[in-house]
Amino acid sequence: MPEYKAPLRDVKFVLQELLSCESLYQQLGYEEATNDMIEAIMSEAAKFTEQVVAPLNQSGDQQGCKWEDGIVTTPDGFKDAYQQYIDGGWPTLSQSEEFGGQGLPHSLNITVSEMIIGANHSFAMYPGLSHGACATIEAHGTEEQKQTFLPQLVNGNWTGTMCLTEPHCGTDLGMLRTKAELQDDGSYSITGTKIFISSGDHDLSDNIIHIVIARLPGSPAGTKGISLFAVPKMSINDDGSVGERNGVNCGSIEHKMGINGNATCVINFDGAKGYLLGEVNRGLNCMFTFMNAARIGVANEGVGSAEAAFQGALAYAKDRLQMRSLTGPKNPDGPADPIIVHPDVRRMLLTQKTIAEGGRAFVSYLAQLVDIGHRETDAAKRKEVDTKLALLTPIAKAFLSELGFEATSHGVQIFGGHGFIKEWGMEQLMRDTKITCIYEGTTGIQALDLLGRKVLGTQGEILKPFAQEVTVFCQENYDSPAMAEFIKPIMAYAQEWQGLTETIAKKAMSNPDEVGGASVDYLMYSGYVTLAYFWARSAKVAQDKIAEGSDEVDFYQAKIQAAQFYFHRMLPRAKGHAACMVNGVDSMMAMDSDAFQF
């Protein structure tokens, strides 16, 4: 099993050097979030993930969760590790001080979360959804609801879930059957079944607060008639203590491809007492607070998985001896050369590296936008931030989850036959990571949201703030000979991005299926161009550090070389996606459904 090490040096590069977090935090009023504090937090997070969480990864996968008579038990060691997570104050890091949080920036929490994901994906999911539950209740709950739920969710004694999907409906939430009935005391009786509920039941916390969508009698059909509720697993007494079991039960846990250490549950609500969040029939709007937070979290899972796969593959590639280099022996005293000398192994390792490090920059940038949105008082600036988040969130979720899965596949491949064997741990990474392409909206759903609802739905206006940011960066560095290999391609791709948007819009006017046919290619194209921007910025920082006389020349030179690899071997993939978009939807839709046979 590969030994996970928190990527502290690259974290420092991204937060402090690339994104200038300290100056941003000071501007936003996070005065205590200095570089010294940030480094101390990350150092302690590294110790926790490496020493407590990572050792449970393989055993948790092998043992899995257990369900017996409605009771779910997590793998050995998880409960103690979760208590250490609470004792360390990690759940409170970026939560509101009003409810017991430390009030630090969200972008610090996302970095700690990435470390936990890389160390143990299954474990990371238990506290992961609680952040979305907190954000949803804080944004849409009444003052009484906030005081009831948030202190215990913030300190980690309670955890949260997101309950959307039902047996007969996946993404099409307008088909839901779970019903809510108003009671005399103002609460609601919730009845129905939800499936695929991550962390839906477990033995780690005293209570679980389910954020549930349901329909009231007489509400409109479809998504317009959805309301949102907080439904605790255990009843809550007037003094805030946990009471008797509410009408919430785990009917079973799923037997899955991966993330076996996390309980994915069927949750039955049988007249369970719930509390309305927000307005009646506005539940889906409120739920987007949770879903958008979760989608950035899933993008982060892609990054953490890519990092873990890269670490394992790199260590193996330096140690495994196979064949000789085509340019002559590199290990003349040994029977063969380490496989890292071979170009194709380098291709896979550099693909993993550019996904992990570029993705870390991308996700941290999004998390900083969230920080700005929380603290910015200027309405125009907040609108700009919200627009960038609306555009980039579906790109990050789908693109980084797809590339994260690719990175784990390369990890298996680099290990060769050993990668397919459980004891080495690489196949577990691949199994665990595939779910990120599916939950919180599949890649196809994210793509339709991006292209159909957001880009074409705004006549392309949503592209402008981020495009302007990229343009300014290119203009500032246009005359730099050292940056030419990065700036000129970005400018060309950015112009093509706009042209492709216009082309699809014109095609869609005569055939709406053109949107569905182009959407995934459009999202992936957008992802490759967006990641190119972050790699170009990284190269610029590295060049400047070398010019300043840094004593870490090897680190910064590696950044520049990784950026060059990305531009030479990864960014050109966008051209294939562009060609597919231009070729249109006709070849997809020409065959009659009955002609699909086997």
Q: Give first-to-last CA distance, the chain, whole Å.
A: 40
Query: In the structure encoding, which two tokens stand for residue 208, read together?
Result: 């679980």
**Helix residue ranges, H only, 64-217:** 78-87, 106-119, 121-140, 143-155
Q: Considering 144, 440, 485, 502, which one is annotated as catalytic?
A: 440
Amino acid at 52: V
Question: What is the residue whose two structure tokens read 């990175």?
Answer: 407
Task: Fill in the DSSP letter of residue 7.
Answer: -
Global model pTM greater than 0.95: yes
- Report the C-alpha gap between 19 and 445 in whole angstroms: 30
Q: What are phi and psi of 76, to 5 degrees?
A: -55, 135
- Give the angle subtended at the CA of 27 by the CAs of 21 and 30, to the nearest 5°: 70
- Report the C-alpha gap between 552 and 561 in whole angstroms: 15
Q: How many Cα atoms within 13 Å fall on the side-chain side of residue 566?
A: 31
Q: What is the pLDDT of residues 461-472, one digit of tens each?
A: 999 999 999 999
Residue 440 bears catalytic tag: yes
**Confidence at residue 467, expressed as pLDDT on a 0 to 100 scale:** 97
Which string of DSSP letters, residue by residue, matches 507-520?
HHHH-THHHHHHHH
- Report the C-alpha gap between 457 and 381 in whole angstroms: 22
- Report the C-alpha gap between 556 and 545 in whole angstroms: 7
**Confidence at residue 533, expressed as pLDDT on a 0 to 100 scale:** 98
**Confidence at residue 216, expressed as pLDDT on a 0 to 100 scale:** 97
**Confidence at residue 170, expressed as pLDDT on a 0 to 100 scale:** 73
- Report the C-alpha gap between 142 and 395 in whole angstroms: 33
On whether the CB atoms of residues 134 and 98 are closer than 8 A, the answer is no
| Bridge partner residues of 214 (DSSP) | 227
- Report the C-alpha gap between 163 and 169 in whole angstroms: 12
Closest listed residue to residue 324, CA positions, set 316, 314, 334: 334
Closest listed residue to residue 287, CA positions, set 135, 393, 158, 442: 135
Question: What sign does the dihedral 447-493-346-49 (CA atoms) show?
Answer: negative
Q: What is the largest CA-CA distance in the chain?
A: 83
Closest listed residue to residue 107, CA positions, set 93, 120, 119: 93
Kind of pairing between the strands at 242-245 and 234-236: antiparallel
**Confidence at residue 173, expressed as pLDDT on a 0 to 100 scale:** 78
**Confidence at residue 540, expressed as pLDDT on a 0 to 100 scale:** 98
Question: What is the residue whose two structure tokens read 């665990």?
Answer: 432
State the burial class of residue 250 (Cβ atoms within 10 Å of its Cβ: 0-12, 13-18, 19+): buried
Query: In the structure encoding, which two tokens stand for residue 175, read together?
Result: 């088909």
- Report the C-alpha gap between 362 and 6 in whole angstroms: 18
- Report the C-alpha gap between 137 and 286 in whole angstroms: 9
| Bridge partner residues of 188 (DSSP) | 182, 274
Task: Fill in the DSSP letter of residue 169.
Answer: B
Give every residue of the chain whose pLDDT is below 50, as ranges. none
On whether the CB atoms of residues 284 and 173 are closer than 8 A, the answer is yes
Closest listed residue to residue 263, CA positions, set 63, 61, 65, 62: 65
Kind of pairing between the strands at 264-277 and 248-253: antiparallel
**Confidence at residue 52, expressed as pLDDT on a 0 to 100 scale:** 98
Query: Cα–Cα distances in Å, from 165 out to 205, 275, 441?
Result: 23, 19, 11
Query: In the structure encoding, which two tokens stand for residue 411, read together?
Result: 């990890």
**Confidence at residue 175, expressed as pLDDT on a 0 to 100 scale:** 87
**Residues 568, 574, 576, 581, Cα dihedral to 10°:** -170
Q: Which CATH architecture does the domain made up of 287-455 adopt?
A: Up-down Bundle (1.20)
Q: How many Cα atoms within 13 Å fall on the side-chain side of residue 67?
A: 19
